[in-house]
Amino acid sequence: MNPNGFSFIHAADLHIDSPLRGLDAYDGAPVERLRGATRQALVALVDLALERQVAMVLLAGDIYDGDWADFRTGLFFREQMVRLVRAGIQVFVIKGNHDAESQISRQLPALDGVHVFSAHRSETVDLAGIGAAVHGRSFPNRAVPEDLLPTYPPPLPGRFNIGLLHTSLTGRPGHDPYAPTTPQALVATGYDYFALGHVHAREVVHESAPRIVYPGNLQGRRAGEAGAKGCELVTIENGLIVSAEFVALDVVRWQTLSLDASGLDRIETIATRFREQASALVAGARDRLHALRVVLTGETPLHRVEAAQPGTLAAAVQAAAQEIDEAEVWIESVRLALRAPLTREQAAEHSDALGELLQLTDALLADPDGLKAWAQEQLGALGPLPPQLSDADPRTLDGEALAALIRDAEATVLARVRAADDEAPE
């Protein structure tokens, strides 16, 4: 082993130039900044590697989101790799499901110092100078249903052994089951570190012997990929991990802010409370653009205002966001999960159409599978949406999102009924 030690960076799921469909549908969205975020995050990764003088950078798959529209995507990535190689930093890459060997049709000249592992067999690169060995295998195709781990070679004696693997392990929500294996199988290899890719949420699967980590994707691309995104920075001395830290590198940070509006009866109060909570949320990362999805919850008479003039609460939140000084904020959407006060229980007892509606709501919310089937039936006549709206197709919503829509629709009906009652002559 190298008595002086070394350090390395582990990142995955860069998805450079991910298309981020549907952004044009957002009024006032900083489209170019959002679409350029994956590139800027990679630049930040290279800057970090140069600043910390790491020995190597490990990229565990899905560098690209799919085949390049043109050569600019590949040339940009290669340009950043040249910066690393010129500084004596070696790069090790495996291909995942999005950038599998069968997926990328355009090719650029290979770069000395950047090793892309074969898709046909597992390989080992012996780095005797620093006392390390890197093992890996790329995906040959987008779908890899078999366990690749049995093809990996045994650890090299006297080396700090690192395995690169793009895998779903035993399964992760929202991710296809590719190259499945178990944490126990990874431990049994005798490696010292497993640099995983494929899962976009950071997760330390196993703390040590070996340390097994999903770093998450380098840059969040939508509201479902919320929170800090970045890479792992690991330092080795005498064959042991002496430090392992997560370093945030995202340039756009997606966040969800839930605001309880219970008891609030003035638009100005909603705005003030949002501004306070949002300022606290973004204060620790002032140098980023924060994309906020705001969810208003609770029982409030303001729902009647919203029912009478839809968009009022969203406009109040967006106006308040303009006054936040702690960081730049863009409101991705404002979603309502509000309840009109003290009306539902009374209305549910009625035998009229409103009572029947609430009974239907109760039945649907009590049966998630039935809710999804009912929604598909109701949406059956809806034709294909334009490509720019594909992300907003209600037929793709999960059970929780459908339930939220049902609750919001119910609350809107109740608020309109109450508003009509209030306006009726005595």
pLDDT digits (tens, 9 = 90+) for 27-51: 778 988 999 999 999 999 999 999 9
Distance, CA of 269 to CA of 258 (rounded, Å): 15
- Is the peptide bond between 210 and the residue preceding it cis, with omega within 30 degrees of 0? yes
415 Cβ neighbours under 8 A, 6+ residues apart: 303, 304, 306, 307, 308, 340
User: What is the average pLDDT value for the chain, to the nearest integer?
Assistant: 89
Domains detected in the chain: 6-248 (3.60.21.10), 251-341 (no CATH), 342-426 (no CATH)
Q: What pLDDT was estimated at residue 424?
A: 43
Rounded to the nearest 5 degrees, what angle is found at the Cα of 188, between the Cα atoms of 184 and 192? 105
The whole-number pLDDT of residue 248 equals: 97
Kindly report the pTM of this predicted structure.
0.79
Q: Is residue 386 very low, low, confident or very high in pLDDT (cuts 50, 70, 90)? A: low
CA separation for the pair 163, 191 (Å, rounded)? 7
Going by DSSP bridges, is the β-strand pair 328-339/289-299 parallel, antiparallel, or unpaired? parallel
DSSP state letters, 263-323: T---HHHHHHHHHHHHHHHHTT-TTSEEEEEEEEEEE-THHHHHHHSTTHHHHHHHHHHTT
Quote the CA–CA distance of 369 and 399 in Å, as a whole number: 8
The token pair that represents 60 in the structure block? 């565990």
The pLDDT of 105-130, averaged and rounded, is: 95
Cross-strand partners of 289: 252, 328
Any idea which of 158-167, 175-184, 288-297, 351-360 has the lowest mean pLDDT?
351-360
Distance of CA 406 to the CA centre of its chain: 26
Average pLDDT of 335-364?
A: 75
